[in-house]
């Protein structure tokens, strides 16, 4: 190439940062445009760091040993708090914000633009131009939509593709390690611990403290409780704040209706193992996350591609979100070593599309028993995955790399032009 190529990356979270760093190290100029005008590091909670993610971070030069807390055991509590089943399985538990911060600090500050919302784009044989809400424009050789569940890039390329509510929600919280009573800490903190109320799942595990702090007493405890919620009645009530405003997709933690929080706390006293009842009592401001599936039939659109959660959003049980973001970015960067951008993006799509479908399929299988409404197929799936042994053995453990396309797609358009 006679000049350095430029990538416009829409979205400054995990997938956008991975793409920016990997392309930059291959000689690209990169610009990341994040619509939120404040830092994202306070978002997210705990994640299980898959082996592939460890490898991707190591290849970028990061000290993987400092990323999280290594656990060796998973265990299941019964309603009385006894251990009904346990397995040995090593896994690294980390905080989303810490990995985000590591990536964010590795990208040169001039490459990252906050408060820049892309409203449209257009492309031709020579390049792609993005238009922003402030009226400004930016030109590049490729545009990468890494802007998550609400992706504006995906909406322009695939307007009919939208998130599909899965039939249940997750109540989440992150607690400082030092608020846990000593007995609870001894019983729970060193393991990934589950509890299975009928048709529900509660799971908790330790993560690093603020800024990746690994000192004893300064770490945190990540809590997730999956509960069915009917889409027609229960979900709208959960997303309607006390002023009567119903929020789309999700609701900010301070606006969760007080009645919903009170009902969640009352259910904890009825349904959870005593150790987890004590944990729930310590939660001051819970987060509420409706669970969605999002599955794109296409990833490449001429000089435009979508990656990460802009392309596929899977239920959390596969623990694949950040790992998939890194793998998407790596495949995209490798494909773009070629001079022909449009052909490169089609190769990227051929590699990553079947992986995304497989992740979605697996996540639906793992979460079928949590849904408020179930088809006959869902009931068949849930008959296995409501079993404690299956939950421990199969949650967040799958190899996504040997996926194959379910069918050959023909007649697809490979270019999208938008203004």
| Distinct helix (H) and strand (E) counts, the chain | 12, 18
pLDDT in tens, 125-156: 999 999 999 999 999 999 999 999 999 999 99
Q: How far is CA 174 from CA 39, 98, 207, 252, 273, in A?
A: 19, 14, 9, 15, 19
Query: What backbone torsions phi and psi does residue 59 show, to the nearest 5 degrees?
Result: -65, -25
pLDDT in tens, 286-322: 999 999 999 999 999 999 999 999 999 999 999 888 9
- Percent of the chain past pLDDT 70, that is, above it, reads 89
Identify the top-confidence range among 43-47, 173-177, 317-321, 381-385. Answer: 173-177
Looking at residue 19, its pLDDT comes to 98
User: Cβ distance 359 to 311 under 8 Å?
Assistant: no
Residue of higher predicted confidence among 100 and 39: 100
Looking at residue 411, its pLDDT comes to 36
Looking at residue 381, its pLDDT comes to 60
Average pLDDT (23-49) is: 86
Q: Please check the confidence at residue 375 and state whether its pLDDT lies above 70.
A: no
Q: Please check the confidence at residue 377 and state whether its pLDDT lies above 70.
A: no
Q: Please check the confidence at residue 400 and state whether its pLDDT lies above 50.
A: no
Average pLDDT (405-419) is: 34
Domains of the chain in start order, with CATH, are: 6-61+97-163+292-394 (3.50.50.60), 71-94+165-291 (3.30.9.60)
Say how many C-beta atoms besides its own lie within 10 A of residue 280's C-beta: 20
**Banded model confidence at residue 419, pLDDT cuts 50, 70, 90:** very low
Average pLDDT (113-124) is: 95
Q: Beta 112-114 vs 142-145: how paired, if at all? A: unpaired
Looking at residue 394, its pLDDT comes to 86
**Banded model confidence at residue 3, pLDDT cuts 50, 70, 90:** confident
What does the radius of gyration of the chain's CA atoms come to, in whole angstroms?
22
Whole-number Å distance between alpha carbons of 22 and 59: 10
Q: Tell me, what DSSP letter sits at residue 373?
A: S
Two tokens, residue 156: 């322009």
**Banded model confidence at residue 173, pLDDT cuts 50, 70, 90:** very high
Looking at residue 388, its pLDDT comes to 82
Average pLDDT (105-130) is: 95
Average pLDDT, the chain: 89
pLDDT in tens, 180-221: 999 999 999 999 999 999 989 999 999 999 988 999 999 999
Least confident of 160-174, 344-358, 393-407: 393-407
Residues 6+ apart with CB under 8 A from 301: 157, 345, 413, 414, 415, 416
**Banded model confidence at residue 404, pLDDT cuts 50, 70, 90:** very low
Looking at residue 189, its pLDDT comes to 96
User: Cβ distance 404 to 354 under 8 Å?
Assistant: yes
DSSP-based three-state secondary structure for 397:
coil
In degrees, rounded to 5, the angle at the alpha carbon of residue 289 between the alpha carbons of residues 228 and 105 is 150
Q: How many CA atoms lie within 13 A of 282 on its CB side?
A: 21
Looking at residue 414, its pLDDT comes to 36
**Banded model confidence at residue 52, pLDDT cuts 50, 70, 90:** confident
Per-residue buried b or exposed e for 181-192, using 16+ beta carbons within 10 Å of the residue's own CB: eeebbebbbebb
User: Cβ distance 86 to 75 under 8 Å?
Assistant: yes
Looking at residue 120, its pLDDT comes to 95
pLDDT in tens, 61-95: 998 778 899 999 999 999 999 999 999 998 899 99
**Banded model confidence at residue 379, pLDDT cuts 50, 70, 90:** low
Whole-number Å distance between alpha carbons of 286 and 419: 41
Average pLDDT (86-106) is: 92
Looking at residue 407, its pLDDT comes to 32
Q: Please check the confidence at residue 408 and state whether its pLDDT lies above 80.
A: no
């Amino acid at each position: 190439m006679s000049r350095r190529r430029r990538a416009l990356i829409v979205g400054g979270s995990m997938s956008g940062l991975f793409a920016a760093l990997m392309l930059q190290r291959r000689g690209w100029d990169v610009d990341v445009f994040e619509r939120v005008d404040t830092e994202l590091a306070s978002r997210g909670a705990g994640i299980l760091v898959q082996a592939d993610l460890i490898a991707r971070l190591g290849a970028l030069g990061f000290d993987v040993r400092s990323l999280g807390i290594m656990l060796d055991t998973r265990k299941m509590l019964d309603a009385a708090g006894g251990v009904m089943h346990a397995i040995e399985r090593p896994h690294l538990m980390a905080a989303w914000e810490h990995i985000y911060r590591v990536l964010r600090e590795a990208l040169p500050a001039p490459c990252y633009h906050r408060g820049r919302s892309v409203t449209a784009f257009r492309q031709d044989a020579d390049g792609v131009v993005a238009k922003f809400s402030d009226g400004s424009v930016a030109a590049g050789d490729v545009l990468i939509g890494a802007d998550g569940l609400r992706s504006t890039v995906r909406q322009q390329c695939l307007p009919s593709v939208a998130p599909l509510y899965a039939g249940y929600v997750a109540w989440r919280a992150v607690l400082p390690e030092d608020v846990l009573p000593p007995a609870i800490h001894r019983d729970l903190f060193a393991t990934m611990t589950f509890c299975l109320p009928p048709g529900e799942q509660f799971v908790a595990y330790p993560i690093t403290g603020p800024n990746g702090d690994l000192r004893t007493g300064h770490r945190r405890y990540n809590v997730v409780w999956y509960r069915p919620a009917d889409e027609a009645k229960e979900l709208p009530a959960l997303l309607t704040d006390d002023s009567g405003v119903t929020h789309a997709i999700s609701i900010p933690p301070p606006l969760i209706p007080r009645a919903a929080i009170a009902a969640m706390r009352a259910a904890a006293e009825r349904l959870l193992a005593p150790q987890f009842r004590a944990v729930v009592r310590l939660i001051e401001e819970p987060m509420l996350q409706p669970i969605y599936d999002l599955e794109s039939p296409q990833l490449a659109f001429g000089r435009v591609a979508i990656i990460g959660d802009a392309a596929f959003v899977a239920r959390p049980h596969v623990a694949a979100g950040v790992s998939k973001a890194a793998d998407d970015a790596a495949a995209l960067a490798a494909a773009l070593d070629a001079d022909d951008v449009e052909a490169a993006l089609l190769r990227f799509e051929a590699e990553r599309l079947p992986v995304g479908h497989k992740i979605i399929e697996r996540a639906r299988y793992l979460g079928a028993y949590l849904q408020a409404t179930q088809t006959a197929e869902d009931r068949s799936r849930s008959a296995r995955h409501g079993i404690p042994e299956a939950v421990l053995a199969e949650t967040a453990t799958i190899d996504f790399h040997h996926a194959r396309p379910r069918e050959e797609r023909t007649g697809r358009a490979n270019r999208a032009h938008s203004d």
